[in-house]
Chains A and B, each alone.
Chain A
Amino acid sequence: MEKKNRKSPEINTSALPDIIFMLLFFFMVVTVLRKSQVKMDLNIPSSEEPTKIKHQSYVNTIYVGYSLKNKNKVVIQLNDSFINIDQIEAAIRGLNSRYDNEMQSLISTSLKVDKEVEMGIVNEIKLQLRKAESLKLNYIANNEILP
């Protein structure tokens, strides 16, 4: 009896790395690393029942907010760099041309715009996107139930 107890085997931990690796691969695959840093003052608006964005890897993001140095100046950023409003068409065309023809229908543009910004600027960005034939647009918003 005593002998049996002493001989009870150690737990085999050789499969542990395999389990951990499996978890690791899962998180590696689902991870979307944040691509760009926002260099402006930006509070996104709230709206009722916004939906999830499809095909996250095919999204160009345009940020519109207030300059950190001058609170009254509106600045526009496309992915990682500042841009003038009339350069958007060419820039978006350039970005979209990286993808194959089959992928073109998946591309969308996300607009992260400060809630105080006036629609004149947004309308101009929309016109630029239409000229660039990038017609899927997401207005990024927080979910909030209205009173």
Chain B
Amino acid sequence: MRKRHSAEINTGAMADIAFLLLIFFLVATEINQDKAVSVILPKYHEFTTPGPISKRNLLKIKINEDNEILLNGEIIALNKVKLLVMDFVENPQKSMLKPREPENAVISLMNDIRTSYEDYVQLYAQIKLAYQTLRNDYSNQQFGKSFNALSQDKKKIVASKYKIKISEAEYSIAQK
């Protein structure tokens, strides 16, 4: 009789302890993670400058110290950047002043040391969005799915056609 009684351990409080720990981790958990405009920087070479590039493949975008955006020397509004970049990369009219193939396009993005960070990030995001839209359109047209829904292999095909080449270095134009 005595033996049988001493055998049981009261586990009723166990749930309370676990609850306490659970509530701590619930509170300590960060649910909204940081979001970012992600970029990949070019490798550092001390003396080399990038090779010359054909003029038709280069789109010059500059953001000056007054945070005005200049596209090939003309001031434009931020909300026009996406469409203009898309038009340059895709070149639907087969213009001689724009790249023959989308993968040849290079965006040169220059900033001034006095440009504000927020305007720069917003401009960068717009250029990235232009490429995202082009990739999505191409994926829908070729495979009937959006870019993110594609398999890894197909993603590579689309990404290499619309390869994001944003250069922040000084470029020289190739002489004919």
Contact = CB atoms under 8 A, between A and B. Distances in A.
Contacts of A142: 35
Interface stretch (B48-56, B99-107, B116-124, B135-143): B116-124
Interface residues of A, number: 55
Contacts of B15: 13, 16-17, 20
B76 to A, nearest CB: 14
Interface string B69-81: 0000000001100
A48 B126 CA distance: 7
A34 B34 CA distance: 12
Interface string B17-33: 01101100110111001
A71 B89 CA distance: 43
Interface in A92-147: 108, 110, 112-120, 122-123, 126-127, 129-131, 133, 135-143, 146-147
Contacts of B129: 48-49
Interface stretch (B39-47, B90-98, B149-157): B39-47
A13 B120 CA distance: 58
Interface of B: 11-12, 14-15, 18-19, 21-22, 25-26, 28-30, 33-44, 78-79, 111-118, 120-122, 124-126, 129, 132
Given A117-B117, A137-B39, A138-B37, A17 B122 contact: no
A133 B44 contact: yes
A136 B40 contact: yes
Given A14-B11, A32-B33, 7 more contacts: A20-B18, A32-B30, A51-B36, A135-B40, A135-B43, A136-B40, A139-B124
B120 to A, nearest CB: 6
